[in-house]
């Protein structure tokens, strides 16, 4: 089984810094921004982006988490992890620009579930999508607004994101 590293720690850091700048540019600043990470690694990435945006814009950006487990349409087919907590920042999401943050975009089903989850919580003015790795193979018409790296892959390959906070290492690998 061949596994190759496609992003190292420095690559991930650069990608997140670029995404933070793109989010600020797209939103014309940090006003009204809320970042919601999708567990597990999307939450970590969301917090990192929140820190970067706060450093760049010199203003605190609310960061929370959005568990989508119970909103998935493929629960019967795929065993899933137990639900994680959803933590919406104190100001809520109504009228805000919500940026969903996840590690890998593949079929689009997690993001579709996230859109349903958001709808059950409130009504943002806009929802954007920030992804560290876009590997293609969409099953739904979902496209990220902010991408760290496009990594073409075969459907049979697996893209693994490892982050210090959750895995003790920092890399993105691809393999069979």
Structural domains present in the chain: 3-22+31-68+93-175 (3.40.50.2020)
How does the average pLDDT of the chain come out, rounded?
93
Tokens found for residue 65: 């988490």
Look at residue 80 in the predicted model and tell me its pLDDT: 60
pLDDT at 75 over 90: no
Q: How many CA atoms lie less than 13 Å away from 64 in the CB half-sphere?
A: 18
Six token digits for residue 148: 């760290």
* Distance in angstroms (rounded) separating the CA atoms of residues 82 and 39: 11
Strands 3-7 and 171-175: antiparallel
| DSSP-assigned letter for residue 83 | P
* Percentage of the residues of the chain whose pLDDT score is greater than 90: 85
The region of weakest confidence among 44-58, 66-80, 105-119 is 66-80
Q: Note the pLDDT of residue 70.
A: 80
Return the residue matching tokens 């982006």.
49
pLDDT value at residue 162 = 97
């Amino acid at each position: 089984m061949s596994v190759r590293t496609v992003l190292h720690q420095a690559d991930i850091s650069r990608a997140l810094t670029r995404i933070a700048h793109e989010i600020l540019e797209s939103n014309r600043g940090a006003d009204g921004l809320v970042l919601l990470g999708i567990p597990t690694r999307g939450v970590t990435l969301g917090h990192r982006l929140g820190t970067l945006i706060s450093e760049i814009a010199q203003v605190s950006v609310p960061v929370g988490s959005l568990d989508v487990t119970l909103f998935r349409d493929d629960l019967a087919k795929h065993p899933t992890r137990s639900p994680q907590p959803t933590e919406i920042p104190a100001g809520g999401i109504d009228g805000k620009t919500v940026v969903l943050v996840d590690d890998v975009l593949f079929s689009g089903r997690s993001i579709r579930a996230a859109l349903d989850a958001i709808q059950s919580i409130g009504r943002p003015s806009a929802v954007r999508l920030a992804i560290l790795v876009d590997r293609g193979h969409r099953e739904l018409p979902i496209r990220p607004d902010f991408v760290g790296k496009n990594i073409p892959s075969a459907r049979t390959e697996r893209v693994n994101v490892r982050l210090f906070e959750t895995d003790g290492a920092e890399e993105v690998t691809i393999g069979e």
